[in-house]
Structure 1
């Protein structure tokens, strides 16, 4: 994620140097968008890797029947697994690239205090 983040970030820098205030955003806001996108890419399973792939395979092979016999709620079972996957990717593939991007570029922080809770609720809801 970090390598692709730098590739996209420098592309955005070149684009914003040629056309400042593109789309009503300045360069630091555009770079914040790039690094947040890289941080949340695997956290939200945008490119696969979520529970859907494994669940579809278990349905195809018939292993889902064993899952239905377990004394645990099937939906909570898969929810717990997917939340664990998302937390792992957020820490390993989200926080580290975001910190490196913040060290390399001037990222924009929200101006309002209420933006932070709204952001975290949005990320949690996916």
Structure 2
């Protein structure tokens, strides 16, 4: 496929059966595409979608017509890849409520209230992703 691309997905290493932690995290290569979807909250149908190659950045997809003003809900749930100043400004101007996950501060632990907030957002997001 000429349009598909390689990318790396970084994952935290999981505790082994004997209780020890591996010395490094995992980098798994992927080849293919990513789907970006907009779901109607009331009827649970996919309203809009966009497919990009696996290496494309996620942050600009919200501004490329993925959000739907005819949806009865104003909340936007997304993972940290979609959080950017440009996206937050765009959502505010379009009267959407950002429910985008917050990123962990660089070289600092994540605040407990942000962890709880992200966990609550994950409940909604996981239903769509599964």
Range into which the TM-score falls when normalised by the shorter chain: under 0.3
More helix by share: 1
The structure with higher relative contact order (CA 8 Å, sep 6+) is 1
More strand by share: 2
